[in-house]
Each structure stands twice: as C-alpha cells, then as structure tokens.
Amino acid sequence: MCSPLLFISLLISLSSITFCFSSNHESISGPTGFKSEIINKESVRSPFHNPNLTRLDRIQNSVRDSFTRHHYLQSLISDKASVNSVESSVWPASGAYVMKYYIGTPAVETYAALDTGSGLTWLQCLPCENCYKQTKVPIYNPAASSSYDEINCHDIKCFQTGIGKCSEDFSCQYELAYVDTSFTRGILSEETVQFSDGLQNVTMKYFVIGCGHNTTLHTVGEGIPGIMGLSMKPESLVTQLSYHKFAYCLGDYDDIDARGYVTFGDAAHITGYTTPMQPFDGDENFPFYFLNLESLSVNNSTLSIPTGTFNLTKDYSSGFMIDSGTTFTLLKKAALNILVDHILQNWQYKNRILDSSNNFQLCYKSNMDNIMSAPVISFHFPGVHLQLPRWNTWVKVAEDIYCLAVLPTDGMSILGSFQQQNYHVGYDLVNHQVSFDFMYCTD
C-alpha cells in the first residue's frame, strides 16, 4: 500500500508512527492501535441521554431510526440521491453508539457516532451558517485551535479522497448529501485528535476531518456533534491510519449503564468464527461491509427461504450488510414472513398479540421465562453460524410484551446492532473477513 520510498523511510525511522494515507504518498502520524470506550447514545452515561423517554418512546424511536437508517444506506450505496422523503428524521446515525474523543489544541471533548457506513469523519463547526441543535456538547470552534489547518486546493489531499472540491476562495470544500434535503457542507481540514481508553491518550496529528459549517439534518431533539467514519473509503479513520483491522463490542440495548468498546490496529483482535466480506462484482475497493447470508434456521431446522434471497445484486435491491448504526435488523419481507410463520407453527400461537404500530411482525404476551424457551434463531454465513441469544432476538416493548426485533424491508437486508449485542465483532480489512465471538462487553 505504501510507496517504496515511504516504506523505506518507515523502515529506517525508529518511530512506528509513520503511516500511509490511502494508497497515495501522503502520511499522517498516529498510534499503531488503540482502544476506546463506546456507549449507546441513549444510555445514562451518554450526554445525549434523555431521561424523559419512556421505554416505548425509546423503542419507537429505534424503529423509526432503523427504517430511516436503512433508507439512508440504501440510497448511499446505490448512489442515488433520494427523491422521496419517507421520514422526518434523517440523521444518518440516529440509532448509534457514540465514542468520545478530543479535538484541537488545546483539546476539547466531543462525541461522534460510530458509523461503519460512512467514510469521512466530520463534526459541526463554528461559525455556523446552519447548524442542527447541539447543546449538550459545545460546537467545535476551529479558530481557537492552534493545530487546525484548512486543506487548500493545491494540496493533493483535497482530491485524494474524491470528496473535496475547490471553492472560489481556494479552500477545499466537501458536501455530503443525505436522504431528503439533509446535507453537511464545510471545509476539509487537518486537525489533531486524541482518543482515550481511560488509562492513556493516543494522539493523531493531521487527521483529515470535515468541519461542517452548513449542516441541515432534520433531527428530533438533540443531535450528536458528528460522525466517525469506519467504512473502507479512502477518507475513513481506518484507511487514513492504514489500520488493517478494527473490532467492537456493543453493550446491552436494555442496560442503561451498558458499556462497550472499539479497538483499532494492533489493539484489535479477530477472534471467534470468521466469514468473508462480499466484494461487489469482485471489486476489491467496494467500501461497504456486506456478508453472504446463506440461510436462516429456527432450532436448527433450516427455513425454506429461496437461495439467493440475500445475494448482493447490481441494483442493491438485495444484499446483506452488517451495520453499527441500525438498531433492529431488517430482513427481506418474504424471508421474514417465512421466519414468522415457522415460529408461529412451533410455538405458543395462543399468546400472540399484534403490535399496535404494525412494525414488528410477531409479538407475544409473555414473561421472561417463556421468552427464554422460545425457539432459537440462527443466521448462517459461510464459516459462521450466528446463533442469537434470546435477548438479541426479542425486545421487551412493555411489561410482559415481547416482540421479534426484526423489521421488514423490500430492499437490502441489514444486521442491526440489537442482534450484535455482546458479540465481539472483528473487521479484518486485509483478509476481507468479519468475525463474531460471543462475549460480554466488559472492558
């Protein structure tokens, strides 16, 4: 990946902090790896926690956000600006887990949504031509930072990533359009960022970020200051630092004190079972994380879902993506119907109740003990049989009411964070594999 010259300089350099930026000649400095805590945006440990939300509010928000996120990813991947606005909330990572980091000199604390579907790391910046509501964490002021540096048009970094555009004043502008009329627009810049694992801080200098001065996102309530991009695009955190792997463990959705972690580079471990990522049409540079979902089973009996239902197709109307920012898994409607019918035939038909919002396809009036005897759902990938624990399968929507935490879709399918709870999920970017290892996310 490095140019030969850079590689030699790396060998003779005693420090281990030289890295290649993308496949080109620029480098940024940073640690060889690090670990950071992540928290659910809604947990009590998050500055964005809203104590006024009831359980039902929270679940309804997660349902709405899962559909919105699906819509966003679907339009992002098929590279189509969306014409129909389907939802009012189009924050691209609403269901997200957030991570704390420090930015600038002197360093100020901020938060970003961990987003495997995005490349660029960006945050709202002063002065705000347009900002969404952000009150819990101050809006970042680059003028107060001595390490902030706008990338100008003559710098190769402006064009390297494919997202920079030269503006009239020779600054390098970026603009990301989200679904609906949402967008973030600002200046591509270099800045020093720091991450903390609680024991020590690691520093990255010249990290390329988007400083958003004109961002319109129709969020409901408080917005997260920005996004940490973890896709395989050239501008993402993992590519900028040439990290060959990263891993995360997402804490319990239902535990308000839950914690999890994300690890990068040599701090990340690929453990458990692995399955290949799906490149699109053999395109090695396909930047998104798709997996080959071969089949689903219930108590080890394979469902008769037509083979190829989850194959990645040219128009992206099907495919199976793993995502950090979607809460509830979305499955192709026909496949979900087969799953629901199978469970109904085998388990406690008499206790079924209908979800009043009509989003969840299968709900039971049942207590926890009963839920623990529900049939076990597994997702089968080459190399991985992801047997979901009951608490990754059923969401408690009210006292003694549990619903199958899967939503229907006509488009591509997505493995959501609810189904990934307490799995150590590893992304091996060299061997193009994703790993799953069941464990509690205690750090």
User: Nearest 5°: CA angle at 320, between 314 and 321?
Assistant: 105
The residues, any chain, with a CB within 8 Å of residue 102's CB and separated by 6 or more, are: 108, 109, 110, 193, 194, 195, 196, 201
Kindly indicate which of the ranges 63-71, 155-163, 195-203, 254-262 contains the residues binding ligand NAG, using the contact rule CB under 6 A: 195-203
Q: In sequence order, what are the residues at sequence separation of 6 or more whose Cβ sits closer than 8 angstroms to the Cβ of residue 263?
A: 33, 34, 35, 36, 246, 247, 248, 269
Residue of 29, 214, 295, 317 interacting with ligand NAG (CB under 6 A): 214
Alpha-carbon span 234 to 120, nearest angstrom = 9
129-148 residues in contact with ligand NAG (CB under 6 A) are: 129-130
Q: Does 375 bind ligand NAG (CB under 6 A)?
A: yes
Q: Which two tokens stand for residue 51?
A: 């104590």
215 binds ligand NAG (CB under 6 A): no
Asked whether the beta carbons of 119 and 231 are under 8 A apart, the reply is yes
Q: Among 299, 302, 356, 442, which residue interacts with ligand NAG (rule: CB under 6 A)?
A: 299
Taking the complex as a whole, the smallest distance from the CB of residue 87 to ligand NAG amounts, in Å, to: 21
Site map 22..51 versus ligand NAG, x via CB under 6 A: ----------------------------x-
Which part of the chain contacts ligand NAG (CB under 6 A), choosing from 2-10, 11-19, 257-265, 369-377? Answer: 369-377
Per CB under 6 A, 376 contacts ligand NAG: yes
Q: Which of 40, 68, 189, 194 binds ligand NAG (CB under 6 A)?
A: 194
Backbone phi, psi, residue 351, to 5°: -90, 5
From candidates 18, 147, 152, 196, binder to ligand NAG by CB under 6 A: 196
Binding range to ligand NAG, per CB under 6 A, among 16-24, 89-97, 304-312, 389-397: 304-312
Binder to ligand NAG among 11, 54, 284, 308 (CB under 6 A)? 308
CB closer to ligand NAG, 22 vs 192: 192
Distance of CA 155 to the CA centre of its chain: 30
> Looking up tokens 């060998």, which residue turns up?
11
201 interacts with ligand NAG by CB under 6 A:
yes
In this chain, which of 40, 116, 292, 324 binds ligand NAG, going by CB under 6 A? Answer: 292
Q: Is 351 in the site for ligand NAG (CB under 6 A)?
A: no
> Counting contacts by CB under 6 A, is residue 118 touching ligand NAG?
no
Stretch that binds ligand NAG, among 114-122, 149-157, 232-240, 368-376 (CB under 6 A): 368-376
Helices (H), 37-128: 55-77
Structure tokens given for 431: 């061997």
* Minimum CB distance to ligand NAG, residue 215 (Å): 9
Q: What is the smallest separation between the CB atom of 32 and ligand NAG, expressed in angstroms?
A: 18
Output the six-digit token pair for 184: 């973030």
Q: How far is the CB of 98 from ligand NAG (least distance, A)?
A: 16
Of 102 and 438, nearer to ligand NAG (C-beta) is: 102
Q: Is 373 in the site for ligand NAG (CB under 6 A)?
A: yes
Q: How many residues bind ligand NAG (CB under 6 A)?
A: 23
Query: Smallest distance from the beta carbon of 297 to ligand NAG, in angstroms?
Result: 8
Rounded Cα gap, residues 329 and 420, in angstroms: 9
Both tokens assigned to 170: 């020779």
Instruction: Enumerate residues 47-106 that contact ligand NAG by CB under 6 A.
Output: 50, 52, 102
Nearest to 293 by CA among 419, 118, 429, 441: 419
Which DSSP string do the residues of 308-364 spell out, in sequence order?
Answer: TTT---TTSSS-EEE-SS-SSEEEEHHHHHHHHHHHHHHS-GGGEE--TTS-SS-EE
Residue partners of 404: CB distance under 8 A and separation at least 6: 339, 340, 343, 360, 361, 362, 363, 393, 394
Report the DSSP beta bridge partners of residue 255.
none
Question: Which residues contribute to the site for ligand NAG (CB under 6 A)?
Answer: 50, 52, 102, 107, 129-130, 185, 194, 196, 200-201, 214, 292, 299-300, 307-308, 311, 346-347, 373, 375-376
